[in-house]
Amino acid sequence: MTTKDVLALALEALEKIAFADMFDFQRRDLARKTITALKQAQEPVAFISPKQLELIKDPDGEFGHYIPMRKTSAGNFVMALYAAPKQAEPIWQPIESAPSLQIVLIHYKNSNDRGRTIKARFVPRYTEESHQENDEGVTEYDEANDRYTLIQGWWEQIDNWDDFSEVYVSNNPTHWMPLPKPPEAQ
């Protein structure tokens, strides 16, 4: 049984409490708050072995598993139980390993030798048609397909301009990183 399975059983037991007695508002609200906190936590909430989990199973099967929050004298609590899976920290990676046509964060130094981080995507040669014909410096003619395409390179992504949605990055980026996940709406 994996950590995820153990956590799912613990949450299932709490959810049964949260919805069991509609008139016990305090107990129900406490269980619901605990469920929310468990789903958001990133630190271990307990340590337990899969063998021990089977030993503490509710024999009647009504309430799932009871997980003691103390260590046995034998010290057998070995599996960390997380309320939510730990998120991997994004790290800067060499620009050569960046994906094509995917929006990421890139880092470069501007003409004043100052570091800049922007949202951008790499466009390979002849892959994306341009809406501008012969826009010098940012498009090139693809004879094989009789069309103008964006030149190969990094394109900054702009969300709030009316005129442009992306502009060519003339500086050479050195590193990239995946975009972080946006905050959850509440």
Residue 66 CA to its chain's centroid (Å):
31
Total tally of structural domains belonging to the chain: 2
Q: Is residue 182 part of a domain?
A: no
Per-residue model confidence (pLDDT) at position 16: 65
Same structural domain, 112 and 164: yes
Q: Cα(first)–Cα(last) distance of the chain, in Å?
A: 33
Same structural domain, 10 and 51: yes
Same structural domain, 69 and 119: no
Q: Which two tokens stand for residue 95?
A: 């620009």
Same structural domain, 17 and 73: yes
177 touches 104 (CB < 8 A): yes
Same structural domain, 8 and 72: yes
Name the residue range of residue 18's domain: 3-82
Same structural domain, 103 and 169: yes
Which of 48-57, 76-85, 109-118, 134-143 has the highest average model confidence (pLDDT)? 109-118
* Residues pairing with 145 in the sheet: none
86 touches 7 (CB < 8 A): no
Strands 166-168 vs 139-142: parallel, antiparallel or unpaired: unpaired
- Residue where a domain stops, chosen among 54, 82, 110: 82
> What's the pTM value of the predicted model, to 2 decimals?
0.52
Same structural domain, 28 and 104: no
Tens of pLDDT, residue by residue over 53-66, are 677 666 666 665 55
* Percentage with pLDDT > 70 across the chain: 51
